[in-house]
Amino acid sequence: MKVRKKLALIAVGTLAALSFAFTNPDEKYFEIAKNLEIFASLFKEVNMFYVDEINPQELIQHGIESMLNSLDPYTNYIPEEQIEDYRVMTTGQYGGIGANVGMRVDPVTKKEKVVIIMPMEGFPAHKAGLLIGDEIIKIDDINVEKKDSEEVSQLLKGQAGTSIKLTIRRPGVEKPLDFVIKREKITISNVPYYGMVTPEVGIIQLTDFTQNAGREVRDALIKLKEQGAKNIILDLRDNPGGLLSEAVNVSNLFIPKGKDVVSTKGKVKEWNKTYVASNNPEDTEIPLIVLTNSSSASAAEIVSGVVQDYDRGIIVGQNSFGKGLVQATRSLSHNCKLKITVAKYYIPSGRCIQAIDYSHRNPDGSVGKIPDSLRRAFKTAGGRVVYDGGGVKPDVEVPRPNYAPITKNLLSKGFIFEYASYYRQKRPSIPSPREFKLTDAEYADFVKWLSDKDYDYTTQVEKTIDELAETAKAERYYEDIKTQLEELRRKVSHNKEQDLIKFKSEICQLLEKEIASRYYLEKGAIEATFDDDPDIQTALALFKDPARFRKILGK
């Protein structure tokens, strides 16, 4: 009881002190002071009289998070215990073994397990011999079979130079295996891959905008040109963004020095700023295509927007995410931090690509996209019309692959992932990722491997028919349409064995990518997709047609 009283008094005292800071007669500050006082007294009453014991820290944190959630998804409270994770996000550095882990469902036992998704080439996990698909069951004799991937990831991290013991279960190996691995300082590359797609076309995959992103892209660009690249693909698909400064640095590589890159405008006028290309560019002439999709956000949208606004290159793929908000980090007491949205950014044409209006919520608390009627037209440097409020729209749109139900099912239930590990056990090597193709006999082996496994599924059409039947029964029309429903169900009823043959091509593409990763890691997974990636194939076709390339850019 004394502890609860003490905590309550501390909370009341802290909030009361804050309330005295707002003695300005201005109505807004009076409301702040009043509500802080209400919150303090409410917290005191709950802490003193609630029927069960409460955790004051957790209760306050829930309150803070709920308050911030009413603003936007990017304004976040970072307690002291999460500061290290935040540092990793901004710097790309941490102490660990250099392996991505994730949850997978065992297709036989149906239980979730934490497995190695990708060992990073050249880092401790890879050098120790850990393989994709290895299930982690113990870390330093701590059983982790009931922990999730985030908990396991935290246990894997630690001071560089310290050792860690992993016990893993490997597919095809009867007994568990032990590995003693020394942690190192891990630096996650912003450019996990660059290489030549064809003798004249180079590709740079940029997945983050942490520190040194600009330098890494520059180094990759120089090396690709040395290898003969006369055209460049900059792949920003699934890039969530990051540091604004690095978006400026990457943009600067392709546009002249002194050009505006992005402007920020917010409530605090002193923070309003225009960022310009302050360095000499690396190449302002090489034909450039930027790939985007719905997960390309923030800094990735600044770069793609700059390329589009200056008619520097062609955007190919799908509409970007539409995040035009800028965050800054503010220090709080007790080593906590607040990541807060402080401004909106505007790309060179003057448009803001923010797609969602968080400042005006519906009565139910939900938010919607900015309607087309409120979007404004702007012009690129060459006079092409572009619009604000909806992300960056590609110059050449390419639909995302829409996999068949059986393909989605094989992916979601882990059969593609598990079979790749099974394949790796049987074959010591495969051709290079670009050359590797599953033979008909090997695909038949995959079908045979599936034969005793539960990979059945219900298509959306079948679900709709079932829903219609239930509605008809509830409204007592079922007997009137029963015959027609049964005939329709018979016509659309799927045959999973036939589907394996009908959709063999797309299933093979996914199998080849997953299998290539078992032998060549991330590089293999990327290169195995070159010949069937619709965005890359569209880019190659554009490079082969210079007249169309220029026409799209209005030149």
Please identify which residue in the block is written with the tokens 């076709």.
Answer: 541
Reduced to 3 states (helix: H, G, I; strand: E, B; else coil), residue 447 is helix
469: DSSP letter: H
Catalytic site residue from 72, 309, 388, 395: 309
Query: What six digits make up the tokens of 257?
Result: 């020095």
50 phi and psi, to 5 degrees?
A: -60, 140
Paired with 321 in beta bridges are none
Torsion of CA 491, 496, 498, 501, to 10 degrees: 140
How far, in Å, CA of 124 to CA of 216, rounded? 22
- Dihedral sign, CA of 120, 193, 354, 277? positive
**Does residue 388 have an active-site annotation?**
no
Q: What letter represents residue 213's amino acid?
A: A
Among residues 424, 420, 523, the alpha carbon closest in space to that of 121 is found at 523
**Would you put residue 390 in left (φ > 0), alpha (ψ -120 to 50) or beta?**
alpha
How far, in Å, CA of 170 to CA of 181, rounded? 17
Rg (CA), the chain: 28
Cβ–Cβ < 8 Å for 394, 304: no
Please identify which residue in the block is written with the tokens 């091509």.
Answer: 505
Cβ–Cβ < 8 Å for 316, 396: yes
Catalytic site residue from 298, 320, 349, 421: 298
Torsion of CA 176, 180, 183, 184, to 10 degrees: -110
**Does residue 157 have an active-site annotation?**
no
Catalytic site residue from 44, 113, 259, 323: 323
Cβ–Cβ < 8 Å for 235, 217: no
Residue 377: CB atoms within 10 A of its CB come to 10
How far, in Å, CA of 533 to CA of 535, rounded? 6
**Does residue 298 have an active-site annotation?**
yes
Q: Are strands 396-397 and 314-317 parallel, antiparallel or unpaired?
A: parallel
Cβ–Cβ < 8 Å for 322, 345: no
Among residues 291, 274, 279, the alpha carbon closest in space to that of 255 is found at 279
Inter-axis angle of helices 27-49 and 56-69, nearest 10: 140
> Which residues are part of the catalytic machinery?
298, 309, 323
